[in-house]
Amino acid sequence: MAQQVSMPSMGGPRFQRGGQRFAPGQRAKNAGGTVKRILKIYLQFGRPMAAVLLLTALSSLLTVLTPYLTGQAFNTFSEASGQVDTPVLIEILLLMAAVYLGSWLLTTVNNFLALRVSQQLVYQLRRDFFLKMQRLPLGFYDTTPHGDTMSRLTNDVDNISTTIAQATTQLISSALTILGSVVMMLLLNVPLTFVVLLCLPLVAFLTRFLAGRSRGHFLEQQRALGALNGIIEENISGLKMVKAFGRQEEVLRQFSQVNEELYKSSRKAQIWSGYMMPFLNVISNLIFALTAIAGGLLCAGCGLPMGTAVSFLTYSKQFAHPLNSVASMFNTIQSALAGAERVFELLDQPEETPDDPEALSLKNPQGEVEFSRVSFSYSPEKPVLHQISFHVNPGETIALVGETGAGKTTLVNLLTRFYDADSGTISIDGRNITRLKRSSLRECFSVVLQDTCLFTGTILDNIRYARPQATEEEVVEAARLARAHSFISRLPQGYQTRVFGNSDTLSQGQRQLLAIARAVLCDSPILILDEATSSVDTKTEKEIQRALLKLMERRTSFLIAHRLSTIRDADRILVIGDGRILEQGSHRQLMEQKGPYYRMVVSQMGLAD
């Protein structure tokens, strides 16, 4: 049985819904929830994270001991005698050197472990994100700009990576250092401790105020960056059309407008977050001055040892240092939270309706198809199909004709379960397709679309995309049947010639021939041809039609085409209009009825054939 084919959308509407945009200054929806989700992912790496926490705690403990030892070194000086207790001072200095060396070693090892865990986290995020993309329904891609989705996977995830690698150990270390410093200060002197702790409400108010002002701008910055990526992606893929219609100025205007939005949101985000560091320095210096004044008064009037006052001056600076570290990362943290929120927003999107737990695999499908009172709409206010019913026998060729937007491609999208019908049932070989596993269902189809999708790789790989296990001889035979072998043989490396996605190394006609060869090789019981010969010349079209006639002999075939020469030999023609089947029959029968099909033929050919 043929392998499942990964197929792009076969038409249907395209909505440019960029998603909800945040107004400048508006706060992110749930920064706290985003942080919790990141921490939850971290907890999956239990042992490495436990090691990071342990090393961070030990390093913070050594950091907290340093001011205390500094104070004890000063206390070796006797005010009464004017002498220094040299042996004790040397011991303290050696102990301080050991503390500094140990702190450096612990920090080095800890940073290595934290970076490893952080990169594993980002690796998992990228994997989950890409896996989610495979599970999203086709409607998501029809309604979301591709550039924005690409920006989430690259820019937003990279933002998370950079910030997590820098901030994780610093944040943990800062919290432990602050806690340890408070404990040590309380043990040394309570009144001076409260002087140092005056900075906490000031810092809390400052952080809350600036975070509230900057977070919305950072999220708007990420969204504007996604929109800008979308414009760039569209401009690169459609550059020929831009130049052909002289739309360079309009494209430049659109780019400049979004670029201006990105500039404004980035500027505001950086300005607001940039206030954090200067204000924290002011608070730090203020607390240092108050501690020095209070310490001096206590030394002069209350007999406080000079070394204890020196320790408190060091603690006041050390107390502010973790806050300054967090402040220096404030803008990147806000940017990462905005990026993480956008990543989680996509990860929370509803997936395709899962297969029924009792879903079956279709064994030896024959190609019998039945639509029974099927209705469908892409949006509730715009119904596309109304109560469609028809039956197709195995091996029968059905042509779907009608005006653009009549619903021809939608019928095929429903048959392949790219979308699910709103009501009614669709059956293959008498089995409701919703009761079949999607993998089994899509093995029933060989598809050739109007917009051919090639993937970066060799021509050989592209033809056997549907059947990776196919031999080279089978690929060549499929190419011969599709009339593609002759042009492939003329290429410099033949079947080993590399193509690069949707680049223009091949003509559209050649690309379509490769798509037909792919469908031939797929060898599935149901063949879907969506304007499959629209991009080839008349001579090649006739050759392809001869190949397709042989290909369709044993298969149920659905033809979507506008050319009369493509559809007139179909066993049955369904004329779709206003979401309904207006009439059906063979070409001769419909011409004799002189209904909608007759009028279409007359308008196309200029005569009643």
Instruction: Return the amino acid letter for 31.
Output: A
Place 476 in a pLDDT band, splitting at 50, 70 and 90. very high
DSSP 422: S
Mean pLDDT estimate for the chain: 80
The whole-number pLDDT of residue 574 equals: 93
Give the Cα separation of 289 and 591 in Å (integer): 98
Residue 561 in this model has a pLDDT that exceeds 80: no
Instruction: Return the amino acid letter for 344.
Output: F
Give the CA distances from residue 530 to residues 399, 451, 522, 560, in Å, rounded to whole numbers and listed in that order: 10, 9, 16, 5
Residue 573 in this model has a pLDDT that exceeds 90: yes
Whole-number percent of the chain with pLDDT over 90: 11
The whole-number pLDDT of residue 423 equals: 92
The whole-number pLDDT of residue 504 equals: 66
Of residues 72 and 532, more confidence is placed in 72
Summarised one tens digit per residue, pLDDT across range 51-95 is: 888 888 888 888 888 888 887 887 777 666 667 778 888 888 898
Whole-number percent of the chain with pLDDT over 70: 86
The whole-number pLDDT of residue 166 equals: 65
Give the CA distances from residue 403 to residues 6, 242, 469, 557, in Å, rounded to whole numbers and listed in that order: 28, 27, 40, 20
- For 25, the token pair is 């200054």
Of residues 103 and 145, more confidence is placed in 103
Instruction: Show the CA angle centred on residue 556, arms to residues 555 and 557, nearest 5°.
Output: 105
Instruction: Show the CA angle centred on residue 179, arms to residues 175 and 181, nearest 5°.
Output: 115
Give the Cα separation of 47 and 52 in Å (integer): 9
Q: For the sheet containing 431-432, what is the strand order?
A: 382-392, 369-379, 423-428, 431-432
The whole-number pLDDT of residue 16 equals: 38
Place 565 in a pLDDT band, splitting at 50, 70 and 90. low
Give the Cα separation of 210 and 106 in Å (integer): 33
The whole-number pLDDT of residue 19 equals: 37
Across the range 85-108, mean pLDDT stands at 87
Summarised one tens digit per residue, pLDDT across range 477-525 is: 988 888 889 899 998 899 999 887 666 678 777 888 888 888 888 888 9
Summarised one tens digit per residue, pLDDT across range 318-329 is: 776 676 666 666
Which of 14-28, 320-334, 367-381, 407-421 has the lowest average pLDDT? 14-28
Task: Kindly state the helix (H) or strand (E) to which residue 576 belongs, with its residue range.
Answer: strand 572-577
